[in-house]
């Protein structure tokens, strides 16, 4: 998608595919569309609940399973490569049979040459280059996939390019205030993720917070106040806390994922099949057994803590 930022001839078709409220008319619009869609995937992953829910936007049960279906019939790059490789090999089979030494790695070189040529073509796409057939197919699947989050019930007539945050029923600006103040969470995307590689830029993020909210993030405040610089040391004295983390929740990467407390009353609870705070939502018959077991575990510990407190003699 980011390659279309400089390809104005692709914007009209993209506007149609993604049903944008206003036509895409600039690289800024393309970037906003990317942020909008990528945030949809992130929130969908976070709220991958086993039943229909509308914590952010109305979605079906297990939305991630639904979101991958539009891509089922679109071949991956590896599948396309595997499909084309036999043709390349057939082209040079006679040479390969007769000049075995010379052709050691010959077809790999041909395939690499083809790939290099394709990369050159894509890197030189101009403003006059419309969407390729494959790009069009991928974007149509992408639109259908992200609508599992954004427009599952058809509640919106079009895609709002200015809604790059995509937080739905929640006010994302309240979170932004926290994230620009004492709860700054540096998050970037590595080269091997499904998103565009984006290293976290402290300077740019700080400037954005200052420009938008007149706030300067205190990046280490939570680590200083709650601990986390040294997990094995900082949480030794913690008591009567359950650190629950769901397997499906992307935020669990920043949670406490092992038991480190001295008296054992602080428990790191890993919940298989659990999405973002699913154990704290109202019980539902469709909850995985692991989530029900986690709630029972949490309730038993809370009752134990209350009983221990109430058993302490008062003066």
- Three-state helix/strand/coil letters over 238-305: CCCEEEEEECCCHHHHHCCCCCCCCCCCEEEEEECCCCCCHHHCCCCCCCCHHHHHHHHHHHHHHHHH
Q: Would you say residue 189 has pLDDT above 70?
A: yes
Q: Would you say residue 165 has pLDDT above 90?
A: no
pLDDT at 64: 96
Question: Where does CATH 1.20.120.980 sit in the chain?
Answer: 1-166
Judged by average pLDDT, the poorest of 38-52, 76-90, 196-210, 285-299 is: 76-90
Round the CA-based radius of gyration of the chain to a whole number and report it. Answer: 26
Mean pLDDT of all residues in 16-25: 96
**Other CB atoms within 10 A of residue 240 CB:** 16
Pairing, β 266-271 against β 241-246: parallel
Judged by average pLDDT, the poorest of 33-47, 252-266, 269-283 is: 252-266
Q: Would you say residue 156 has pLDDT above 80?
A: yes
Mean pLDDT of all residues in 263-271: 92
For the chain, give the mean pLDDT.
Answer: 87
**Better-predicted residue by pLDDT, 23 or 312:** 23
Name the nearest CA neighbour of 159 among 40, 5, 71. Answer: 40
Mean pLDDT of all residues in 231-254: 93
- Tell me if residue 198 falls in helix, strand or coil: strand
pLDDT at 242: 95
Q: Which CATH architecture has domain 1-166?
A: Up-down Bundle (1.20)
pLDDT at 124: 53
- Tell me if residue 159 falls in helix, strand or coil: strand
Mean pLDDT of all residues in 12-17: 97
pTM over 0.95: no
């Amino acid at each position: 998608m980011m390659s279309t930022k400089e390809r104005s001839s692709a914007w009209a078709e993209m506007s149609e595919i993604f049903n944008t409220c206003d036509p895409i008319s600039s690289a800024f619009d393309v970037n906003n569309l990317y942020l909008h869609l990528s945030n949809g995937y992130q929130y969908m992953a976070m709220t991958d609940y086993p039943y229909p829910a509308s914590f952010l936007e109305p979605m079906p049960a297990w939305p991630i399973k639904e979101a991958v279906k539009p891509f089922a019939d679109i071949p991956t790059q590896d599948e396309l490569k595997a499909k084309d490789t036999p043709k390349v090999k057939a082209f040079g089979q006679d040479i390969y049979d007769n000049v075995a030494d010379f052709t050691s790695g010959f077809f790999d070189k041909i395939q690499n040459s083809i790939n290099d040529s394709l990369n050159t073509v894509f890197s030189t796409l101009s403003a006059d280059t419309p969407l390729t057939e494959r790009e069009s197919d991928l974007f149509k699947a992408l639109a259908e996939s992200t609508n599992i989050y954004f427009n599952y019930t058809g509640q919106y007539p079009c895609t709002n390019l200015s809604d790059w945050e995509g937080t739905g029923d929640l006010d994302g600006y309240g979170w932004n205030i926290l994230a620009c103040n004492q709860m700054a969470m540096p998050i970037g995307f590595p080269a091997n993720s499904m998103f565009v590689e984006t290293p976290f830029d402290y300077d740019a993020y700080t400037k954005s917070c200052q420009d938008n909210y007149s706030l300067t993030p205190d990046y280490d405040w939570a680590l200083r106040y709650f601990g986390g610089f040294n997990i094995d040391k900082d949480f030794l004295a913690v008591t009567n806390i359950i650190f629950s983390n769901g397997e499906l929740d992307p935020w669990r990467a920043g949670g406490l994922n092992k038991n480190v407390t001295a008296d054992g009353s602080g428990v790191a609870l890993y919940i298989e099949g659990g999405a973002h705070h699913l154990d704290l939502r109202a019980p539902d018959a469709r909850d995985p057994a692991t989530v029900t077991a986690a709630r029972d575990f949490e309730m038993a510990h809370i009752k134990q803590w209350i009983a221990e407190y109430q058993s302490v003699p008062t003066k």
